[in-house]
Chains A and B, each alone.
Chain A
């Protein structure tokens, strides 16, 4: 690789018309390039490794100096929770990936307005306001749920392991499905059409072509949902009942006992299976040769009649429809709750709460949007740079950094927040109370997902494009600007949407980092939920969802502008 670069540079020197400009530019380009790389890596060490090291050190802290006692205690006491976590993680990974694959295939094989409508539902369901989503879930499927009890006459108890698995699966699925659609839309739909023209029946196209094509995506989905399930404390806290996982026990340790030492030790414990799974996943990825080949496929989807695809097709359609119905119900439930008032066992329509909402101090909403925009842009560019250096340039030590970047995903949000307090509470890094620490926390907490999105997209840019730019005399910066960035446009959109919507709704980590003067909208939501004002909470959530959709729409228009003309 280096040799090629040198050749390019010397060629460039010889052919250049103005020697001075041409010697300056590559030097400049290399300096900027080198600085950028150091900055990216240094920030990762600072905002991911440093807080993690602080948590690790805390796990060894005892009343009389360093000790392994915390581990001994945690290990004997929480073995069962550990098993619970693994069981739920595996079940959620499988169920969630099943739903995601079905949903992705379903959307991919639809065209026109129907496809747009389905995409819209998926985008809405990407925005998950904390607590309110789970309240809606309970309202629909709880012991007295509108669906389970009132409609179907069942009296199911969702407060157990099964409830946790189901709720995690449906709440993780939209993100995974979006990711899989991204991979699907990059596959070469021409070869699918060719297969159809040559007489392959739809069932075979589905089973023998489409599903194998997205196998790497399926691995990613399995990994992401497994690790996310391990780290998710919100769901088991809300719906677990007497069932508890390591993550929910960590939450309890922090909230109930303020026992940071045990909580830290439990975190370290939780990282073991996550890191193990991470390396297994990398192994699988290298074996299958990464994502689909570098050919650019059509963006428009592929018209395939799923119902004519035999058993598999029917199963895919059925699961996807179930998923969409559940999503529509859940979000419908959130919207509607803002306008309903309970009156002696039944509900009446009212706009009373809407009027109350307008009296609310909405300055927090403005701050949330500003923070989320910063997180959206900075986080996405950061992810692009990181995946450029690790995946495209095959930087040395990349597996170390790749693993490092995945760590925040493996920790319960509360702990990542505590880690930030431990790390940034003292000089020379006294960032507590500033907006920077909140924004940094969001960016780095979400970096695992945004880098995965960018890396997947990068692997689909043809290398030849870089060589072309280099041959024409462009430096590394030009490659970044003219090949990588344009090639990542779709990934830019999905990464931005993810960063933005998550920043608007995240609560677990930032609760510990927020300064009283710098509140975010989710805190208003918190207040409303904890004082039992469901209707207000629903309205704030609705407002957040609308804002996210509007901003995403604008970004989508900008990021897609010129895609068709720009790319061959």
Chain B
């Protein structure tokens, strides 16, 4: 599953330019796709199955993480046949709690943020240490943050080497690399950071920590998907994508699936290659599904558990 880190250096100057106006136009086209009936129902199920159910708060407790783990497998038992989420996403100290709650044979993955999340201001040694401990405690996936300060200062080699080092520390765990696009200022930077992360061995590239106001958007995600597509065309290797933060409505989530399908192809439409990092999206999707199942009546949010 986890592919080995590429060993060759990537020529950062080769990252192609991105035309912001053109990206915005293409992004708008995805949102005019009209997703109806069976496509909508199927899409909503896919969305649920692609969610990394997330809690990343200072006030997190072991009890809350346990609740989250249960919810991941029992989204809304009133409707039979719903999928489970792809993963739960927690801070490193809660990985053990989550592993205990889910057991060893759960299909639900445990993702842990690491490397001094969300700022990334930690020594490289500390980052490796944190990553190894999270994986040792039972994390299947590691969500690291890149050093945006180094990136913006032009020290691309540092960013590349750091990602490669964390990839190594991950062992068999899959690595998601958070670019924190809201701090990267331009789409050209988003593209270059995506290329660096992919070539340094990322299994997934991820937009945001969710901790700053400008999180995942359709244009930013499109730029990252195009980087994945170009890499796939050249190398034959697939890389996953995870937009995170700011996706809380079903309709928007379905537009993301449209974008993935039309940019990368339907092969990416599974939680092996596409994830949503979200906390409140699941309940909105559940409300939409309940509406469809009940023949068109919206139900009160109080019927859906908040964990």
The answer to whether A and B interact is no
Q: Which residues of A contact B (CB under 8 A)?
A: none
